[in-house]
Each structure stands twice: as C-alpha cells, then as structure tokens.
Amino acid sequence: MKEIMAVVRMKKTGATKKALVAAGVAGFTAVKVLGRGNLVTDPQAIEECKEKLLSMGMDEFSEAGDTDKTVTSFLDGSRFFPRRLFTILVHDDDVPRIIEAVAKANRTEYGIGDGTIFVLPISDAVRMRTGEAGESAIW
C-alpha cells in the first residue's frame, strides 16, 4: 500500500484527473496548496524566462521599472505559486504505472515548475462504509 503525493500545476488538474481515470484509478484527494521548488541555478534558463515574461507583461499602462521588479521577484525563487496537491492511495504494483501517467500528463514545454511526485509507505487503510481494512480498502 502506497500513498502517491503529486504537486501539479493548477491548470493540469483536469488532465491529471483524466490520466488517473485512464490508468484505472478513480479515487483521489486534491488540495489547493502554495509551493516552490529547488532554486534554478542555470542563469540562461532564468534569462530566457525573464525575457518571455517581460514581453508578456508590458503594455501601455505599465512602467518598465515596475514590471521588471515584478518579473525579477517571480524568478528569484522566494515566491510561492498556486499548485494542486493530489493524494492517491494505490496498491504497490500499480505505483510505476500511475507515476508514469501523472508525469506524462503534467510535462510541459516550460519544464521548470511542472511539479514533483512523492511516494510514501502507508501502514493501513480502513473503508468507513464496510469497516474492511488493508489492501481491499483501497479499491
């Protein structure tokens, strides 16, 4: 029995749900969370991202200094971004399949910020309706 915790982009909630159904998992719990990842050490990746954001953020009302400040604060790694935390309880054999499904659904062109998947051991589970415990309580 394992617990899979996946932190994914808000926009990928629907895709993740679909991928889970396709992988044969119906049950999950999802929470809105705030998260940040490891510091990005590659200066080129930051520069590219900054250019893209600056070109998106500028219009006739915004001042160059303000936009630059906002974009810099976006990229220095200290800011938290909204993410969705999926918690899925699965049988041991299903773990690789489900990880693959979730990872595939969440991979984007941006790379950085796609999220992480953690697998934790679970000692027991109980289905409230019937009281059955152990593996049969999962699905």
Q: How far is the CB of 8 from other proteins (least distance, A)?
A: 8
In the block, tokens 């971004």 appear at 81
Q: Nearer to other proteins by C-beta: 78 or 130?
A: 78
Nearer to other proteins, 62 or 81 (CB): 81
**Min CB(122)–other proteins separation in Å:** 10
At its nearest, how many Å lie between other proteins and the CB of residue 126?
Answer: 19
DSSP state of 112: T
Q: How far is CA 74 from the centre of its chain?
A: 18
> Tokens at residue 94, please?
């299903």
Smallest separation (angstroms) from other proteins to the CB of 66 = 23
Side-chain-side CA neighbours of 72 within 13 Å: the count stands at: 6
- Integer Cα distance of 45 and 52 in angstroms: 11
C-beta separation of 110 from 45 below 8 A: no
Closest to other proteins by CB, 40 vs 58, is 40
Which stretches of the chain bind other proteins, using CB under 8 A? 2, 7-8, 31-39, 77-78, 80, 83, 85, 95, 99, 102-103, 106-108, 110-121
